[in-house]
Structure 1
Amino acid sequence: MSVEKVEVVIVGAGQAGLAMSAHLVKVGIPHLVLERQRIAERWRSERWDSLVANGPAWHDRFPDLEFEGFGPDSFVPKEDIANYFVAYAEKIRAPVRCGVEVKRVQRKADGPGFRVETATGTIEANYVVAATGPFQRPLMPSIIPDEAGFKQIHSSSYRNPKQLADGAVLVVGAGSSGVQIADELRASGRQVYLSVGPHDRPPRSYRGRDFVWWLGVLNKWDAEAMPGSEHTTIAVSGANGGETIDFRRLAAGGITLLGRTEAYKDGILTFATDLAGNLERGDANYLSLLDEADAYVERNGLDLPEEPEARKVEPVPACVSDPVLELDMAKAGITTIIWATGFALDFSWLQIDAFDENGRPKHNRGVSVEPGVYFLGLPWQTRRGSSFIWGVWYDAKYLADHISKQRSYLAYEPSPQRTTEDA
């Protein structure tokens, strides 16, 4: 059987894979994009029904294609985001092959390059780009055993309130997913408990500008990763036209806030005593951004309206002043636990020596320590914005330029040496 050969194989046809394809198209490098399902599949089948983008349409997009049918300040629904990427692939004529699962990538034993083994055959490539993104393997802590009798799902499996059995719901996780799911369940009439860990809590907007604008002008999107920052939980939402997350307001609306989930025994779930501290940390993050924004306005003489009500602090709810440290799950009527606890990377298919002892890629700005292999779409790959739609675009350009440079070196052939007889 003949083996197909191509210069670059990109694994994954989500935002990272398509951004990479766009830049390789621009520099004229032949490539294939392999996708095991459909383009941007995770937006369609691994997100809840009502999800919208966490950033406005003017910002969360590629620079050379706008969202059709949405205003610049709209928060685009998930299906339309997936459709956007399909349209983008068509626009750039990306060589995408859907329904092709990559089983294994190994360095060739008989020469340079890599063998890419797929469900439909083998492809040889000189370069491989792992563009499978940051949401690869759902993380569900093994705190509550399966035999406890509760329905436990990850947030990536949640679709809508009707999907769940009757009864109260515990949502574990204070990031964008956990907060939005908890609020949706509360609005549907459910009794909801929300376990809140450490988090950052930016304003949705301030003084007439969305927080993504503030992060841009304050140069925070380009912040490089600091130890621990790669795993910072961010509570922000584009739901309901975009709104600032305020946990006290959620509590006032009927959600019972809890500290970080710690342990389970004999039907009793216990929580850390950190709830008030976690909220204070989120408040400090929120207020510090307001302070920086105000200083920026004054320093640059901008005519942006003052917004003193943004600093209003809601009353401390009873569940914070007198926190629940133990919860009898049966008495609380909880039948479902939703773990909004993030994802782990899974590069088990990439069988090369390019990972540390925890399975994290060893790389510099996406350039692997294994020559010829690249990573794209990782959180904080080069900066804070790396895993966002617009941020991955710039990381992809860097990688495409790097591949182009490597190809030019390999194409070099020295001139024939002159001998004395030739003279």
Structure 2
Amino acid sequence: MSSQEIEVVVVGGGQAGLAMSGHLSAQGVSHVVIERDRIAERWRSARWDSLVANGPAWHDRFPELEFDLDPDSFAPKEQVADYFVRYAAHIGAPVRTGVEVTSVRRHDGRPGFLVETTDGTWDARFVVAATGPFQRPVIPAVVPEDAGIHQLHSMSYRNPGQLPDGAVLVVGAGSSGVQIADELRRSGREVVLAVGPHDRPPRSYRQRDFCWWLGVLGKWEITTPRAGAEHVTIAVSGADGGRTVDFRELAASGITLVGRAGAFAGGAMRFEPGLAESIAHGDANYLAMLNEADEYVARNGLDLPEEPEAHVFGPDPDCVTDPILEIDFAEAGITSIVWATGYAADYGWLQVDAFDEDGRPDHRRGISSEPGVYFLGLPWLSRRGSSFIWGVWHDAKFIADQIGIQRDYLAHDAAREILATKVA
């Protein structure tokens, strides 16, 4: 196998890796982007068929390239993947697809890293881990495999026809869980949706998308989540042209809401109390944003139509006021569970001192505790917007600048060595 030298190896050819490539190219830094599948593969094969982007096309993009669709629409997943392929061609990104990085180790006694792949090795001065947060799907060990229930993670869900006949329990009420539950209900399935703590922003308000409101209100730039909200899901959707997620409406459509999934025994699952509190928390988050938006409009004298009806909720459904705490799967006809329960990181290939005692990336704005290694594409890497398409672009710019600074120091050392040799 081949062995090559390069300044930067970028691991991952999704939105983070391509943003990194764009900025490195602009600074004239030699690099390679290594992707084990195709460019933006997760958008194609690790999402359900009807998925669309959660932000409108005018917002969820790189500054250098627009989507080929209505700016206010929400791009279907295939168009998102095609967008990144088009961007890679636009910048001439040096992407090696179908190649997997198997290990990254620091050189002994000299700068840089040995990057081993399934297609040879690279001697790199810097390494950027741009594999993102969606690496290993997490399914809680609650329902045993021999329980006779078809179980899959939202990453593997494609469409209702994929599941056996019968009712479906969807666990998780973030963007994925809500959209999958609604699609299953529309297909004629009986659906139970397990709901935990969540934030529930308005999809739009006073003729502006919530992405716009987060921008003008400065919320994209918040650097850390509020206390206790590190893992709170966001219930927002671009499906059906974009509409605000309303759990009361979901219940009225026929979806049964329950609290967080608990223990499973004897063919029945228990659900934690607290469903009403979770709904109320989401309502409070929603109303707080409306109130801030109203204050912003008044303060700036904007001519945006009032929307008083957005502040009014319908009555709580019976499943909220009289919560169901246990469901016998056989009696309810539940044959499948879709676990929309998130992901865990998998950095087994990155064999350097860049992690804390819990195995999480140890970094400050993507600069890791291992000199020369950088992380990109993680939630809250530098701000709230870090894991969004436009946000990762700005984080990549910062990391490219940091690499440039380190290159300058190395060039200074090299120049001093050359001068010393000439003097001698």
Same fold by TM-score greater than 0.5: yes
Q: 1:126 to 1:416 in 2, by over 3 A?
A: closer
Aligned to 2:243: 243
Taking the TM superposition and a 5 Å limit, the aligned residue runs for 1:6-21 are 6-21=6-21
Q: How far is the alpha carbon of 1:354 from its aligned partner? A: 1.1
Taking the TM superposition and a 5 Å limit, the aligned residue runs for 1:95-114 are 95-114=94-113
C-alpha distance after superposition, 1:167-218 (max 9, x if no partner)? 0000000000000000000000000000000000000000000000000000
Taking the TM superposition and a 5 Å limit, the aligned residue runs for 1:235-314 are 235-314=235-314
Taking the TM superposition and a 5 Å limit, the aligned residue runs for 1:15-414 are 15-68=15-68, 70-226=69-225, 227-412=227-412, 413-414=415-416
SS, match of residue 386 in structure 1: helix
Distance 1:242 1:375 in 2: 32
Q: How far is the alpha carbon of 1:230 from its aligned partner? A: 3.1
**Paired AA for residue 403 in structure 1:** I
Q: How far is the alpha carbon of 1:153 from its aligned partner? A: 0.2
Distance 1:351 1:172 in 2: 34
Q: How far is the alpha carbon of 1:370 from its aligned partner? A: 0.3
RMSD: 1.5
**Paired AA for residue 147 in structure 1:** D
Distance 1:282 1:316 in 2: 13
Q: How far is the alpha carbon of 1:314 from its aligned partner? A: 1.3
Q: How far is the alpha carbon of 1:228 from its aligned partner? A: 3.7
C-alpha distance after superposition, 1:1-42 (max 9, x if no partner)? 652110000000000000000000000000000000000000
SS, match of residue 240 in structure 2: helix
Q: How far is the alpha carbon of 1:293 from its aligned partner? A: 0.2
Partners of 1:113 and 1:127 within 8 A in 2 = yes
**Paired AA for residue 66 in structure 2:** E
TM-score (norm 1): 0.97
Partners of 2:136 and 2:345 within 8 A in 1 = yes
Q: What is the number of equivalent residue pairs in this alignment?
A: 419
Partners of 1:206 and 1:290 within 8 A in 2 = yes
Distance 1:241 1:32 in 2: 37
**Paired AA for residue 76 in structure 1:** A
Q: How far is the alpha carbon of 1:244 from its aligned partner? A: 0.1
**Paired AA for residue 91 in structure 2:** I
Work out the percentage of aligned pairs sharing the same amino acid.
Answer: 67
Structure 1 runs not aligned, ≥5 long: none
Distance 2:382 2:109 in 1: 34
Distance 2:281 2:229 in 1: 14
Distance 1:231 1:105 in 2: 29
Distance 2:19 2:230 in 1: 22
Q: 1:3 to 1:416 in 2, by over 3 A?
A: closer
TM-score (norm 2): 0.97
Partners of 1:230 and 1:380 within 8 A in 2 = no
SS, match of residue 65 in structure 1: coil
SS, match of residue 402 in structure 1: helix
Distance 1:299 1:398 in 2: 33
**Paired AA for residue 126 in structure 1:** R
